Amino acid sequence: PFKSHLVALLSIYELGPLPGAPIPRYEGPEDWQTETILRSLKGLARRVWDAEEVVGRV
């Protein structure tokens, strides 16, 4: 279930921040590894979106 969630999550993140687009929430079994992966992906997505916004203003 976690790999399926990652595919859905990455598909949404690839589109960029869309107003009102819900970020899928993982409801399966969790441990420190799944939590770390999800937290890291969220941070990476935010950094990419912020960088794209800055580049778009240049």
Amino acid identity for residue 3 in this structure: K
- Domain residues for the domain of 12 are 2-57
Spatial distance between the Cα atoms of 35 and 41, rounded to a whole number of angstroms: 10
The pLDDT tens digits of the residues spanning 11-53 come to: 888 888 777 778 889 999 999 999 999 999 999 988 998 998 8
Count structural domains, the chain: 1
Residue 21 has a pLDDT of 78
Predicted TM-score (pTM) of this structure:
0.79
Distance between alpha carbon 3 and the CA centroid of its chain, in Å?
13
Residue 49 has a pLDDT of 87
pLDDT at 54 over 80: yes
Q: Which residues contact 15 (CB under 8 A, 6 or more apart)?
A: 21
Structure-token pair, residue 8: 């859905």
Angle between helix 2-15 and 32-57 (nearest 10): 10
Residue 56 has a pLDDT of 84
Q: Is there a contact between 43 and 11 (Cβ–Cβ < 8 Å)?
A: no
